[in-house]
Amino acid sequence: MSVVLDASGEPPKSPCSDPIGPQLRTPQAVAAYCSDLALLPHEVLIALVIDSSHHLRVRVHIDGHRHGVAARPCELLRPVLVSGCSALIVVHNHPSGSPRPSATDIAYTQRLADACRLLGVALVDHVIVASTGWTSFVQLGWLPANHRSGDRVQW
Ligand SMILES: [Zn+2]
């Protein structure tokens, strides 16, 4: 493997080197950042690629329809690998108004977590936003948390 240096002798910056959004350390912060999705009439899935200090580096938007959104795990993992980052937060909305995860959401998250594990990518959380609130798979105990204090989760 070779590394290309620019005129300053520094390696070129990867897409992971410039933040494009806020620092996302909690499910609350992600739900607030993506709150606009809650009012959409169709489902949308967002992949948020974050760096080791939890700054947002890449945001991928996948449109679905009224009752679902289809995204293969590789569509979410490719931007993580290309960016040089190694952590992913997944967000989707429920136009129905209820943030409760469906059986499909649970099965999909498990499949995505398996794919992430194989590739050494941290699936930090899966957050569902809706007009009546939001849920976090970490807060529900369905994905591992780095730090938990009572009801409060911090990644
Ligand atoms: Zn869902």
Q: Is 7 among the domain residues?
A: no
- Distances from the Cα of 119 to the Cα of 12, 38, 87, 151, angstroms: 24, 31, 11, 30
What is the three-class DSSP state of 87?
strand
Q: What is the pLDDT of residue 8?
A: 57
Cα 149 to middle of ligand 1, angstroms: 27
- Residue 135 and residue 27: Cα distance in Å, rounded? 8
Task: Quote the pLDDT of residue 93.
Answer: 97
In a domain, 148, yes or no: yes
Number of structural domains in the chain: 1
Question: How much distance in Å is there from the Cα of 1 to the middle of ligand 1?
Answer: 41
Interval between CA 116 and ligand 1 midpoint (Å): 19
Could you tell me if residue 1 is inside a domain? no
With contact defined as beta carbons under 8 Å apart, do 71 and 45 qualify? Answer: yes
Ranges in the chain, pLDDT < 50: 1-5, 11-12
How confident is the model at residue 17, as a pLDDT?
65
Structural domain boundaries, residue 56: 16-154
CA distance 140 to 127: 10
Would residue 83 count as lying in a domain?
yes
58 in any annotated domain: yes
Question: How far does residue 6's CA lie from ligand 1's centre (Å)?
Answer: 45
| pLDDT confidence of residue 29 | 97
At 152 the pLDDT is 73
Q: Would you state the pLDDT for residue 4?
A: 46
Residue 22 lies in a domain: yes
Find the 108 Cα to ligand 1 centroid distance in Å. 9
What's the CA-to-centroid distance between 12 and ligand 1, angstroms? 39
* 135 burial type by CB count under 10 A (0-12 exposed, 13-18 middle, 19+ buried): buried
| Structure tokens that stand for 137 in this block | 């798979």
